[in-house]
Structure formats: C-alpha cells, structure tokens
Amino acid sequence: MKILIILLPLFIFHCSQIQWRPASLAVERGWSETGKNIVQTEVIYEEKDAWNPLSGTTHKKNYRTKFRIYEIPGTLSDSGDPPIYSYEIGSWTLPGSVYFHSATNRLFWIQGINDEYGGAIRFPAVWSPKGFRSFEPKSFQKEDQTIFQFVPSPDGGKAAIILGKLRSDLEIESPVLIIADVNGQSSSYDRSYFEFPLVKWEETPEFRIRWSENSDLLYIRVQNQVFKTNEKSKKLEEAKEFPVCFYPASNFGPVGISPGGKGGDSDIARDMEAPPFKRFKDKPLVKSLNQTKDCSQ
C-alpha cells in the first residue's frame, strides 16, 4: 500500500506529460508599407511529450494561425489597443512569410495544409477584411510543387512567387518564377499570372528576388547573375544595372519588432522601433554584385 501511495503521484505526473496541451510559437510581427499598421502572427497548436524521452521532441497537431492587425496612430505611438482586424486560419504559416499592405488592406502569407510544420505541402494565400477573393494559386501551382518565396510588390497589386519540386536531398528541381496579379482585374483573354523558368534556385543569399520601388520591375539574382522582368516583357533579361539592395525584397514585410507602450502581449512599457522599410529605394543602381549590401540595417 505504501508503495502504491509513493508511485501514484509519479504515475499521475507521467500521464499529464503525455496528454495533449496547448502551445504556441514565438509571436512574429511585421510593418506595413506606410508604417501605420503592424501585423502580428501567432501559430498555435497542441503538443504532448513522446513516449521515448530521448527523442528530444514532442508530438504536435491541430495547428492554427491567428493574425492581428494593429493601427499605429501618430508617430511611433502606443499599439496596445485592440487590433482593428483579426483573422484565423486552420493551419500553420511559414515563418517570415506574412505581409500586410495598408493601402489595399491585403494580408499575404504562405500556408501549410497538414500537421507537418514547415513541410513541403504549402501554398500562397491572400485575404482582405474588405472581402477580397480573387487570388487563386491553383491556377499556377501544381500539386508536386513547393512554394519557397511569396513577396508582394510595393503597390500591393502583384506578387513574386518561387515554386519548385523539393527532392528528398532538399535540392530544388525545375524552379520557376511566377508574377501573379492579385488585383483580380485581368481580362478573360489575359492570364492573371506570368511564368518564367529558372535554371537554378536555392534558399541562400546568392538567390534573391527584389521588387523595384514603383513595382514596375522585378530583379532576380541567380548566383552571379542578375535578371529583370515584368508582366509586359514576358521574359527574363540580364540586368546591366540593379539596385544596391536585394534585401529587403519589398517596401514592407516581416521583421522582429516590438510594439510600443503597454498592452498587447505584455504590461511592460517598451519603445516602438521605427519601420525599417522607409529606406527602400532603387537608387543608387550598381553594376556589380560586389557592390550590393543588406539594406535592412
């Protein structure tokens, strides 16, 4: 009887460890192009410990993502007020993929389908509190393709997308660049996207996409070469000169920032960090990749 009394608390503790419990990833945030809005992304799921403690991980299921969009009134003001928009989806989002565009009220992200967080089965998505429904990735993304990049243009009307087949050795096969219209205004005889096959693509700093300041051109770095294109030219052309910055890729997007004031995730007072994308400019143009730099700093 004494042994049972001693072992019972241990048994209860062990059972509590293998039951499903709520969990979440670290909250991500990003500035809009005007600096007037912040989008907060929180990935929520359920987890439980594995039977084998040496596995070093937990089982996870039922992923959800909550988006909260805050308005920042004035100059670097308090953002502790309730969000102006909230939206939830029934899956995970890829880290660093969430953008909110103030002028068009559009939210962009890369979304998963199953409980394999960060897995190859994922697609681009767009939502707007104004009832936006025109973006359809099935028109250009095939079932065996994985999306690696999804970057909206500065005006919020187009998006640059990198797709490819992810092999078991993590090499990307048959990469392709897509420029998709997200305005939903293409005529019936004109496709809402344009496709450009790429010789190679890797998720490394030597492979970058970068919108021009006015959204007219897209620059693509493929190792030691830079190309440019748009929906009018319908082809990739070697760029004789290009912007000095290939990062950030657009004038808004995900960054590690903290809202100012009190409220939101914490009651601790904190200073607001300035929007880093205000420095997004085409000039100076350069002719050598040795002259490029990271302009997010």
> What residues have CB less than 8 Å from 99, skipping those under 6 apart?
30, 39, 107, 108, 109, 151, 152, 250, 252, 253, 254
Nearest-angstrom CA–CA distance, 271 and 261? 7
> Which residues of the chain fall short of a pLDDT of 70?
1-17, 52-56, 74-80, 132-134, 184-191, 256-273, 296-297
Q: What's residue 189's pLDDT?
A: 40
User: How many structural domains is the chain composed of?
Assistant: 1
Is residue 94 one of the residues assigned to a domain?
A: yes
Q: What is the CA radius of gyration of the chain?
A: 22
Q: Is residue 11 part of a domain?
A: no
Amino acid identity for residue 171 in this structure: E
Terminal CA-CA length for the chain: 66
Question: Position of tokens 């004789």?
Answer: 240
| Exposure string for 38-57, b = 16+ CB within 10 A, e = fewer | bbbbbbebbbbbeeeeeeee
At 55 the pLDDT is 59
pLDDT of residue 190: 46
- For the record, the structure tokens of 174 come out as 């048959």
79 and 264 in contact (C-beta within 8 Å)? yes
Q: Residue 101: CA atoms inside 13 Å, Cβ hemisphere, count?
A: 24
Domain residues for the domain of 227 are 22-286
Residue 2 lies inside a defined structural domain of this protein: no
Specify the pLDDT at position 10.
Answer: 44
Amino acid identity for residue 107 in this structure: L
Report how far apart, in Å, the C-alpha atoms of 88 and of each of 39, 81, 214 are.
13, 19, 31
The Cα 222–Cα 196 span in angstroms is 13
Evaluate whether 246 touches 221 at the Cβ level (below 8 Å): yes
Residue 91 resides in a domain: yes
Residue pLDDT, tens place only, 235-290: 899 999 999 988 899 999 987 665 555 545 555 555 666 777 778 899 889 999 99
* 185 occurs within a structural domain: yes
> For residue 296, is it within any domain?
no
- The secondary structure of residue 93, as a DSSP letter, is B
Q: In terms of C-beta distances under 8 Å and separation of at least 24 residues, what long-range contacts does 206-209 make, across chains too? A: 208/246, 208/247, 208/249, 209/149, 209/151, 209/160, 209/162, 209/177, 209/246, 209/249
DSSP labels, 12-32: HHHHHHTS-EEEEPPPEEEE-
In a domain, 295, yes or no: no
**pLDDT, tens only, 255-270:** 766 555 554 555 555 5
Q: What is the pLDDT of residue 11?
A: 44
CA separation for the pair 170, 231 (Å, rounded) = 30
Residue 243 lies in a domain: yes
| Bridge partners (DSSP) listed for residue 196 | 177
